[in-house]
Structure 1
Amino acid sequence: MGLTKKGDPFLSITLTDRTGEIEARVWDRAEEFSSIFAEGDVLDVVGYANSFRNQIQVTLSSLSVAEDGGDPTLFLETTPKDVSSMMTSLRAILRQTKDSHLKTLIDMFLSDRGFVALLKKAPAAKTFHHSYLGGLLEHTHSVCEMSKAVAEHYPELDKDLLMAGAFLHDIGKLKELKFDRVIDYTDEGRLLGHLILGVAMVDEKVSAIKGFPKGLSLRLKHLILSHHGQYEFGSPKRPKFLEAFALHLIDDLDAKMNGLGRFMEKDRQEGAWTDFNRLFERYFLKEGISAKGTGRDAVPSEEERQEVLFRR
């Protein structure tokens, strides 16, 4: 809720579906409408689009909570990549693991139907990178692919250890995030975070594997705890061996390429440069950048977004 210059209340709402989001305003009966819905509710809305500060904005004349909540996948963005193909490829990459203990650990996770079902659906983050359904699988698959290439380029790396770390580094996000109607943090996520949760998940499986080397378990848990790289980025430990350092760099690269690519695709500034990016503290040159170059499908125009939002 806000107040106009005349002191009249108005309601500001962000409407979303799987195609993106659009800002909306309620100027009349704002207080009445604000009391009938909560964040994450599916709404039936009526309104018209207009331009405000070079952005499309919708003025709503009525809204109500939809009786049928509908399929959450209609309202949350999903990965543009084929989930089944990514899962098949991930299994094939991990099947190359030679260390018997790591192979057993990986197989225990991949044979856990509940784990796999969540992995195929979960986002990798609430915001910035891979923050959509299927995003965690997309990110995990990408990090595993890059880790395989890096390990083959640098033979001094323990390929099996790096690949296991790449696969398991973000599994705690399955418990850190909830994603039924909106992507948000669970109580476990806010209190513990996905690094601690991930280590606990690995510990549970490792304890069931007879003779799993203590030193190997220690290194695997360090990979998870240190992959953010720095204390200020949430890692309780900084990387302290080659595979941990490599995993941090690979994870950081994949996250930033996805997050920055999405920012540039969604930018609506005219001209060759994006709007100012607060996270990176700079403007980015977008001239000549296409959706193909960022690995994501083209973002619909504002007119197309508005049409989809009001098609129902």
Structure 2
Amino acid sequence: MEQSFYAKLETVNSTSYDTNTLRVTAENKEGYTLRVDENSKLDVGSIYEFKCQPIIFKEKEQLEVLEFTHIDDSEIAFERRQELMSTFYEYSPVDSVESKTIIEKYVKQIENPVIKEVVDTIYKKHERDFYLYPAATKFHHAYIGGLSYHTSTMMKLIDGFMDVYPFLNKDLLIAGILLHDVLKVEELSNYAGPEYTKEGKLLGHITMGVKEIELVAYELGHLKKEEVLLLQHMILSHHYYGNYGSPKKTNIPEALILHFIDNIDSKMTVLKETLEQIEPGEFTPSIPVLDRERYYKSKL
């Protein structure tokens, strides 16, 4: 009797001249042994949908793989994809469905037609990967869904700054927050255990992001417009310091606020996660992103 299920591929072992044995962990956390043709190419650590039939091989029950589809090639709903991601990988503490709701609420508030068209085009191009990728390989938000979680938290900080400093342009803040890290989906090799791509090593997400805005603006007929220049400056300067990847410091107020918000969320998220690992009355280990300082968890 055929059965279909999603499972994460743990190991591949060659067992004879024409077959491979796979060890997988299914969605229910059960481990299974699958048999697949030796010419099949599968990646350890990836999630697949397997269609199988039970067989007896050398007096042992196994499942023979009839078909398999990588999750990236499966047509499944966003919510279902994120459910599977949270089952098999270290995942954002906030569900990506929630992050998506927050991000799209703010993006819909953009009124400037040039900014809106550029942002919508880039967002739609990278939407699926944007909700899968981590924000980094280490230090902060380094887990599935980390990029969108980081972005959604930054979005929520906009309102407080706008209330206190109403001279800021809200459209630029929303756009800058969405676009500042979006090219990490190409800077990193994949969303599960990523490394830096060749482009990521030689260019980095800041340069890649500025280039993306340039190309999209050209396609949309907005290339020489001031809005495009301001967006590029925000991406170029959001790390502020040259040794952190920004060749320019901030020269518009929205770029400065983007830098502050990015810095606040990246550091506070790491601090929160570190404090959760110790008891009240203790000090944390030294924290690299906080100048290797040790923070006290008070008893209050």
> One fold, TM greater than 0.5?
yes
Deviations 1:27-84 (A, max 9, x none): xxxxxxxxxxxxxx9469xxxxxxxxxxxxxxxxxxxx96444555455311121212
Q: Within 1, Cα distance between the matches of 2:191 and 2:110?
A: 34
- Distance in structure 1 (CA, Å) of the matches to 2:163 and 2:295: 33
Query: CA separation in 1, counterparts of 2:220 and 2:283?
Result: 54
2:113 counterpart (100, 111, 134): 100
- Per-residue CA deviations over 1:75-132 (Å, capped at 9, x if unaligned) read 53111212122212211111111111111112223333xx110001010011111111
Quick one: which amino acid aligns to residue 174 of structure 1? V
Note the C-alpha offset of 1:134: 0.4
Partner of 2:179: 168
**One-letter amino acid matched to 1:95:** K
1:259 aligns with 2:270: yes
Q: For 1:76-115, list aligned pairs within 5 A.
A: 76-112=89-125, 115=126
> What amino acid does structure 1 have at the position aligned with 2:294?
Y
Match for residue 135 of structure 1?
A: 146
Structure 1 gaps of 5+ residues are: 1-40, 45-64, 290-312
Given that 2:280 and 2:298 are in contact with CA atoms closer than 8 Å, whether structure 1 keeps it comes out as no
Partner of 2:286: 276
Partners of 2:210 and 2:167 in 1: CA distance: 26
Question: Does residue 122 in structure 1 map to residue 122 in structure 2?
Answer: no
Q: C-alpha separation between the residues in 2 aligned to 1:70 and 1:242?
A: 43
Give the secondary-structure state (helix, strand or coil) at the position aligned to 1:182.
coil
- Which of 206, 213, 233 is the matching residue for 1:195? 206
Name the amino acid aligned to 1:117: R
Aligned to 2:251: 240
CA distance in 1, matches of 2:242, 2:294: 27
- Seen in structure 2, the aligned counterparts of structure 1 residues 212 and 201 have a Cα distance that, compared at 3 Å, is closer
Structure 1 residues 213 and 159, CA gap change in structure 2 (3 angstroms):
farther
CA RMSD of the aligned region, Å? 2.5
The residue type equivalent to 2:91 in the other structure is T
Q: Name whichever of 207-216 and 189-198 sits farther off.
A: 207-216
Instruction: Decide whether aligned partners of structure 1 residues 220 and 131 sit closer, same or farther in structure 2, where only a CA change above 3 A counts.
Output: same
SS in 2 for 1:208: helix
Render the CA deviation track for 1:215-237: whole Å, top value 9, x for unaligned: 22111101001001112222111
Identity %: 32
Q: Find 2:228's aligned residue among 190, 195, 217.
A: 217
| Count of residue correspondences | 226
- CA separation of 1:127/1:209 partners in 2, compared to 1, >3 Å: closer, same or farther? same
Give the unaligned 5+ runs of structure 2: 1-8, 13-20, 25-43, 48-84
Shift of 1:145: 2.0
The separation in 2 between residues aligned to 1:180 and 1:102, in whole angstroms, is 28
In structure 2, the CA distance between the partners of 1:95 and 1:212, relative to structure 1 (3 Å rule), is: farther
User: Cα 1:121–1:169, aligned 2, differ >3 Å: closer, same or farther?
Assistant: same
Render the CA deviation track for 1:242-299: whole Å, top value 9, x for unaligned. 11111100110010011222223235x895112233442222112448xxxxxxxxxx
